[in-house]
Structure 1
Amino acid sequence: MLIVGSIIDIWKREIHDYFWMVFGSIGFLLVFINSDILPHLLYLGIALIIAPFVIFIWRIGLFGGADAFALIALAVIAPMATFSENPVTPFTTLSNAAVLFILPFIINLIRNLAALIKHENIFEGFEETEFKKICAMLIGYKAKNPKFCFSIEKIEKGKKKINLTIHHAENEEYCTEPNTWITPGIPYLLLITGGFIIQLLQGDIILSLFIK
C-alpha cells in the first residue's frame, strides 16, 4: 500500500481517498478472521489514537490529506507492528518519518554549499540578513526550472526578500517561475514509508534513545 501510494504521489502529487479507504476496510475486516477478536479490536483502538492527531496536522497544512489517511489506514492494517524488540507506539511511524525529514535539509545545504564553492551568486538581488540566508539554504535552493515546489521569494518595496512562512500542503500553488528560490514539495508519504520500514526493523528511534 505504502509503496504504491508513494509512486502515485511522486507521479501525480495526488492520491484519491478511495485508495486508503479500500486498504483500511480490508485491514478492519481482517480483524474478524481471528479466533479471539476482542484483544485485536482493543489493540486497533489504541493504534487509532493517532487519527485525530494526524487529521489536525492535515487541517493546519503541515502535510496533505493522503499522508493523514495513510497513517490511519496503516494503524488499522498493522497497528504498532514491529519485528524488533524495541518499543513502539501509535506515533512511531510518524516520529520516525519526522527524523527522516532532516535528510532534505542536509541535501539542500550540500546543494547550496556546492553552488557557493563554484562561485555562483545564489542570492543575487537579495537584501537579507545572514540568518535568513542560512535558513533559505537549509529549506530550499535556487531552482532553474521549478517543479512541484513552493516559492520562498517575495518582493517588498521593490526588493527581493526571503519568505519563511509555512506553506499549506494542499492549498498553496506550485511555483513555475524560473530561477526562483524554492522549497521542494516533498511527498511526505515517502518519509512515512521509510518511517514504517524503520518501525518494522528498529522500532521507535527516538523512544529507544531515551530508554537506553
Structure 2
Amino acid sequence: MFDGLSVVNIVRMIAAFTMLGLASFLDLKKREINDMLWIAFSGVSILLVVFSPDILFSLKVVGMSLIIAPVALLLWRLGMFGGADALCLVVLASLAPMFTITTAQLTPFTILTNAAILSVASLFVNLSRNIISITRKENIFKDIDETRMKKILAIFIGYKAKNPKHSFSLETVIDGKKHLDFSLKHVEHMSFCNEKETWVTPGMPYILYIAAGFIIQVFYGDIIFNLLKLF
C-alpha cells in the first residue's frame, strides 16, 4: 500500500495522525488545546519541506493547500467552529498537503467537506435518541411553549438531557415561558449547560470530525466526489 510513497510522505502521514490524535484526546479530555501543539507541528511541516527531495515542488503544493487558511479563519470568525479547529486545518494543510494513498483527486477543501458531511451524523444520533424517549412515553417537550415545526427541528438538533455535560442549552425564557432558541451564536462565546432536565445540543469537538475527515481523505478520498461518480 505504501510502495509509491516517499520517506518524507510517510513521515508526513505519521506526523498528521499523531497531531490529530493528540488534539482529539486533549479536546475530549480538557475541551481546550494548548497552542504549543500547533506551533510544534508547524515546525515539523517546515522541516519536511526543507528535507523534501524537491523543495520547490513541496513549497508549491503546500502553498496551494494553504488556500484553505483564509476560509478556515473566516469560519472561525463567523463562529462556525473554534480557533483550535481553524488552526488544526491550517497546520494540517501544511503538514500533509492534499495527501492521499489512493488515486483520488483531492482539493485543499477535502478534509473540510468530509468533516462537514460526517458532522451531519449527529442529527441522526439526536433523532434516534429522541425517538427512543418518545417510545418510552417520555414527555420530552414538557413546559416548552413552541410551534410544532420548531419541535420537529429540535428533535434533530438536540435532545432533552437529564444531566447535561459538554452540551449547549437550546432553551430560553421569554415572558416566563420556555422557548427553543435556534439562533446562531459564536461557538467560543458559548458556555456549557449545567441545568438539569433541559433541551441541549451536543458540544462535540469539531476536531474529531476533522480527524475523521482526514482519515477518509487518506484512504478513500473526497466523499462528495466519490458519491457523484456513482451517478
Look up the SS of the partner of 1:177 in the other structure. coil
Task: For structure 1, list consecutive stretches of 5 or more residues without a partner in the other structure.
Answer: none
1:34 and 2:52 are equivalent in the alignment: yes
Choose which of 214, 219, 227 in structure 2 pairs with 1:196. Answer: 214
Number of equivalent positions = 212
1:4 and 2:22 are equivalent in the alignment: yes
Deviation at 1:211, TM superposition (A): 4.6
Partner of 1:210: 228
Moved more, 160-169 or 186-195: 160-169
Partner of 2:89: 71
Look up the SS of the partner of 2:188 in the other structure. coil
Deviation at 1:208, TM superposition (A): 2.6
Look up the SS of the partner of 1:142 in the other structure. strand
Deviation at 1:207, TM superposition (A): 2.1
TM-score by length of 2: 0.89
8 A contact 1:150–1:167 mirrored in 2? no
Partner of 1:61: 79
After the TM superposition, list the runs of 4 or more consecutive aligned residues in structure 1 that deviate by more than 6 angstroms: none
Aligned positions of 1:36-55 closer than 5 A: 36-55=54-73
Moved more, 162-171 or 119-128: 162-171
**Distance between the aligned counterparts of 1:30 and 1:82, measured in 2?**
16
Aligned positions of 1:46-195 closer than 5 A: 46-195=64-213
| Paired amino acid for 1:61 | G
**Distance between the aligned counterparts of 2:62 and 2:229, measured in 1?**
25
For the aligned residue pairs, the C-alpha RMSD in angstroms reads 1.0
**Distance between the aligned counterparts of 2:106 and 2:139, measured in 1?**
46
Q: Percent identity?
A: 48
**Distance between the aligned counterparts of 2:148 and 2:81, measured in 1?**
29
**Distance between the aligned counterparts of 2:148 and 2:105, measured in 1?**
42
8 A contact 1:146–1:176 mirrored in 2? yes
**Distance between the aligned counterparts of 1:189 and 1:102, measured in 2?**
14
**Distance between the aligned counterparts of 1:60 and 1:183, measured in 2?**
19
Look up the SS of the partner of 2:226 in the other structure. helix
